[in-house]
Structure 1
């Protein structure tokens, strides 16, 4: 049993040490392990039209994807320097003065909009809230009471 534990401890130590070896200073002429921010491609945001089935019930679900950018709940000046780029989405409905921060890759979900046409603006924001990319999605919310659709 003791020999099995020693073998396990040796394997765990080796596994933990391998990443440390990979982070050593690169050889002369080799690229760094992480690209400087200036070398990264510009962040990109792709927003898709709202899902039709939920929209018929008055629920707006907007899926999106990002490129060269990771969405996560990180804020502050120090996080601006992280590579690859990280940040969050700013979500604004119509021309409302308020906005909220969306900090995950989950779809943006909006419930309770009045029937009619709306514009939902999604903005990629770095951890200091600087806007890096913007997409708008046009949404027409049906009158679910008039159509007799089941609300959920």
Structure 2
């Protein structure tokens, strides 16, 4: 078991089976030493979205619950990354995260929500998990999800 897998175990995180794409795209693309992970929504360990994670942040979903949803998205990103490269110890750096937050029209706390995903990357990968980031509010996401996260990694 590699160091990153040990760290996941210490954190109590069991990576789920990566979700299959539901449209005309692939879950990840590797080109050279870069791996792009397509947007991952907040599927739980059972492969379903919790009703608590459906809706607009600042309306039906609280920012704290949405932060938990962002963390789940990040777990799903890591699961896709493992599918892409096999050994998570090959990660040199999480280069970038992009976050999409389904937001009520007056909600402006998207950055705090996205910290759920950013914090997980640092917890799992240490300094290699520190990344650039964009976070935007959107009117809606697939399956009514409150959060979606995409990522770019540099790998060996």
The structure in which a higher percent of residues are strand is: 1
Q: Normalization by structure 1: what TM-score?
A: 0.26
Q: Which has the larger radius of gyration?
A: 1
